[in-house]
Amino acid sequence: MSECPLPLPVARFHGVKSLMWFISLVMKNIWRRKIRSVLTCSSMAVAVCAVISMLGTAEGYEQSFSALFEAQGADLVIVQAGVRQQVASSLDHGLAKRFKAIPGVRDVEGTLVDLQHFDKVGIPVVYFFGVDPNSILLKEGKLLEGRKMVASDRRKMAIGSMLARNLGKKLGDKIRYFSEDFEIITIFESTNSLESNGGVIPMEEMQELHGTPNRVTTFLVMLDKDRKKPEDIEAIRAKMESLTDAKGKSLNIAVQTTRDHVKANFETQMLKGLAWVSSTVAMLIGFISMLNTMMMSITERIREIATFRAIGWRKSRVMRMIIFEALVLSIAGAGMGLLFAIPLMEFLTRFSMTSTLVVSSLTLEIIGKGVGMGIAAGLLGAIYPAWIAAQLSPASALRYE
């Protein structure tokens, strides 16, 4: 006895026609509620855009901070032990000679780091660096305008090109720092956004204004070319941390590689924490949005879904239909979010109020995390509605009005 062929909706996914019919059914279900589908995609897009932007900013900030040290050739960074914020570190500048005497150390440069804000023009954070005018650290920037700083300069300052643009300053203008007017004698260009958004002041003057003579925030350690292997770096690091003062007490210093220092930096950790908290909230919004959309869709389609069950659809196939609808909406929303995130990050890096805080780094990993989290949130939001739809009995079509 030959088997009676089932209607196309009942047929399983054995043929291309059946699969195409199923896909067209899903697309029609999405398209017949255009406004709701667009709103759901938009909410997912906002969530994905927020995730990519926040994670990209945190990653970019870390990379920019790391590049700031590595551009100077620094292999190790020395700060005061137990201090979470780098700007709170305070070390005796005279220690540089002891560090430099260690075999394998090519040079040691001390720097002062300070954070300032310019609320009147909407710039929340600007890094100022106190550096010896003769330091090798000043050789990296590309001089755009003015002259190089010399040891005899008093109340003079060099600023990055981005900071000059944000403040609307030019050569000869003055910037107020610690109630003192500093004349801009140099405008330099740097590929590092933190440096380009910052300023440089002679170290002795910054020490004087801070009331911390002969104190520095950080030491940057440059090693000999033949001592850059991981085991050599670790040996030199351990040697530095084992140094003691005249009384035999520890110097209370933390010696780290540039990457380890940046990862342990308080500002980096705080920004990463905020990025993940914000991303979690954004994904929760996307999850709730998808859950609400699919529940409304099922409520409106009780007769349709129950009819499919009556003509032979299995529960698993009903669930696949609902989840596939959510998948399409999630992918569309994630794609929109990515398209929004790219210009948003570019705008924030150029906008004066956020350029000192937002450092864009939209790597494939960050994009993958954002898109993946968006799709995952959408699918999770569809699981419960799909289960509810699968429980509908064929009799529901008769009872539904």
How many Cβ atoms are within 10 Å of 4's Cβ, its own excluded? 5
- Average pLDDT estimate for 211-217: 89
pLDDT digits (tens, 9 = 90+) for 228-284: 898 999 999 999 999 998 888 888 899 988 888 888 777 778 878 888 898 899 999
Helix (H, G, I), strand (E, B) or coil at 56: helix
Query: With 0-12 CB in 10 A as exposed, 13-18 as middle and 19+ as buried, what is 45?
Result: buried
Q: Which residues pair with 216 in a beta bridge?
A: 91
- Per the listing, tokens 């009384």 go with 247
Q: Is residue 375 left, alpha or beta, with left meaning phi > 0 and alpha meaning psi from -120 to 50?
A: alpha
63 within 8 A of 265, measured Cβ to Cβ? no
User: Tokens at residue 392, please?
Assistant: 């509908």
166 within 8 A of 121, measured Cβ to Cβ? yes
218 within 8 A of 130, measured Cβ to Cβ? no
% helix / strand / coil in the chain, to the nearest 5?
Answer: 55, 20, 25
d(CA 323, CA 62): 38
pLDDT number for residue 124:
72
pLDDT number for residue 55:
85
pLDDT number for residue 178:
86
pLDDT number for residue 23:
77
pLDDT digits (tens, 9 = 90+) for 273-327: 888 898 899 999 999 999 999 998 888 888 888 888 888 888 888 898 899 999 9
- Average pLDDT estimate for 198-204: 89
- Average pLDDT estimate for 199-210: 89
User: Tokens at residue 108, please?
Assistant: 């040691």
- Per the listing, tokens 């440069």 go with 109
Angle at which helices 315-350 and 16-31 pack, to 10 degrees?
A: 60
**Quick one: what percent of the chain has pLDDT higher than 90?**
26
- Per the listing, tokens 């920004």 go with 271
Q: For 250, which DSSP code?
A: B
pTM, 2 dp = 0.70
User: Tokens at residue 110, please?
Assistant: 């001390």
- With a cut of 90, say whether residue 18 has pLDDT above it: no
d(CA 169, CA 298): 61
207 within 8 A of 112, measured Cβ to Cβ? yes
How many Cβ atoms are within 10 Å of 84's Cβ, its own excluded? 12
Give the CA count within 13 Å in the CB-facing half-sphere of 169. 30
User: Tokens at residue 79, please?
Assistant: 């700060």
d(CA 304, CA 385): 15
Helix (H, G, I), strand (E, B) or coil at 15: coil
pLDDT digits (tens, 9 = 90+) for 125-149: 788 888 888 776 666 556 778 888 8
- Per the listing, tokens 């790391």 go with 66
pLDDT number for residue 353:
52
Is pLDDT larger for residue 339 or for residue 397? Answer: 339
Length of the chain: 401
Q: Are strands 180-189 and 174-177 parallel, antiparallel or unpaired?
A: antiparallel
333 within 8 A of 286, measured Cβ to Cβ? yes
